[in-house]
Protein backbone atom coordinates (compact mmCIF):
# COMPACT_ATOMS: atom_id res chain seq x y z
CA UNK A 1 0.00 0.00 0.00
CA UNK A 2 2.85 2.36 0.81
CA UNK A 3 4.45 1.69 -2.58
CA UNK A 4 1.27 2.71 -4.41
CA UNK A 5 1.06 5.89 -2.35
CA UNK A 6 4.70 6.81 -3.07
CA UNK A 7 4.25 6.03 -6.76
CA UNK A 8 1.19 8.29 -6.89
CA UNK A 9 3.03 11.12 -5.13
CA UNK A 10 6.01 10.73 -7.48
CA UNK A 11 3.72 10.83 -10.50
CA UNK A 12 2.05 14.03 -9.28
CA UNK A 13 5.41 15.69 -8.68
CA UNK A 14 6.58 14.81 -12.19
CA UNK A 15 3.43 16.25 -13.73
CA UNK A 16 3.89 19.47 -11.78
CA UNK A 17 7.52 19.72 -12.86
CA UNK A 18 6.68 19.35 -16.53
CA UNK A 19 3.76 21.76 -16.38
CA UNK A 20 5.97 24.41 -14.79
CA UNK A 21 8.49 24.06 -17.60
CA UNK A 22 5.77 24.67 -20.19
CA UNK A 23 4.66 27.79 -18.39
CA UNK A 24 8.27 28.98 -18.32
CA UNK A 25 8.55 28.83 -22.10
CA UNK A 26 5.20 30.54 -22.56
CA UNK A 27 6.29 33.34 -20.22
CA UNK A 28 9.60 33.72 -22.04
CA UNK A 29 7.84 33.95 -25.38
CA UNK A 30 5.38 36.44 -23.94
CA UNK A 31 8.36 38.55 -22.85
CA UNK A 32 9.75 38.29 -26.38
CA UNK A 33 6.45 39.43 -27.91
CA UNK A 34 6.34 42.32 -25.46
CA UNK A 35 9.84 43.30 -26.51
CA UNK A 36 8.90 43.19 -30.20
CA UNK A 37 5.85 45.35 -29.52
CA UNK A 38 7.82 47.81 -27.39
CA UNK A 39 10.46 48.35 -30.07
CA UNK A 40 8.15 48.14 -33.07
CA UNK A 41 9.55 51.34 -34.60
CA UNK A 42 13.02 51.29 -33.05
CA UNK A 43 15.60 49.27 -35.00
CA UNK A 44 18.24 49.58 -32.28
CA UNK A 45 15.81 48.46 -29.61
CA UNK A 46 14.93 45.39 -31.66
CA UNK A 47 18.52 44.21 -31.25
CA UNK A 48 17.62 43.52 -27.62
CA UNK A 49 14.74 41.33 -28.78
CA UNK A 50 16.95 39.49 -31.26
CA UNK A 51 19.52 38.78 -28.56
CA UNK A 52 16.76 37.52 -26.27
CA UNK A 53 15.29 35.11 -28.85
CA UNK A 54 18.78 33.87 -29.73
CA UNK A 55 19.32 33.09 -26.05
CA UNK A 56 16.06 31.15 -25.97
CA UNK A 57 16.98 29.26 -29.15
CA UNK A 58 20.28 28.24 -27.59
CA UNK A 59 18.55 27.26 -24.34
CA UNK A 60 16.11 24.94 -26.15
CA UNK A 61 18.35 23.80 -29.02
CA UNK A 62 18.21 20.16 -27.90
CA UNK A 63 14.46 20.08 -27.33
CA UNK A 64 12.56 19.86 -30.64
CA UNK A 65 9.14 20.12 -28.99
CA UNK A 66 9.99 23.36 -27.26
CA UNK A 67 11.56 24.75 -30.41
CA UNK A 68 8.35 23.96 -32.28
CA UNK A 69 6.36 25.61 -29.48
CA UNK A 70 8.60 28.68 -29.76
CA UNK A 71 7.80 28.96 -33.47
CA UNK A 72 4.10 28.58 -32.76
CA UNK A 73 4.13 31.20 -30.01
CA UNK A 74 6.28 33.65 -31.98
CA UNK A 75 3.70 33.66 -34.77
CA UNK A 76 1.26 35.11 -32.23
CA UNK A 77 3.47 38.19 -31.75
CA UNK A 78 2.10 41.34 -33.35
Query: pLDDT by residue (tens digit) across 21-62?
Result: 568 999 999 999 999 999 999 999 999 999 999 999 999 999
The whole model's pTM is what? 0.70
CB 66 within 8 A of CB 57: no
Q: DSSP for 4-46, please give it.
A: HHHHHHHHHHHHHHHHHHHHHHHHHHHHHHHHHHHTTT-HHHH
Amino acid sequence: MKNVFYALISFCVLILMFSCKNNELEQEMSDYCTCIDKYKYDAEGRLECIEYIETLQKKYENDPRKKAKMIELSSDCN
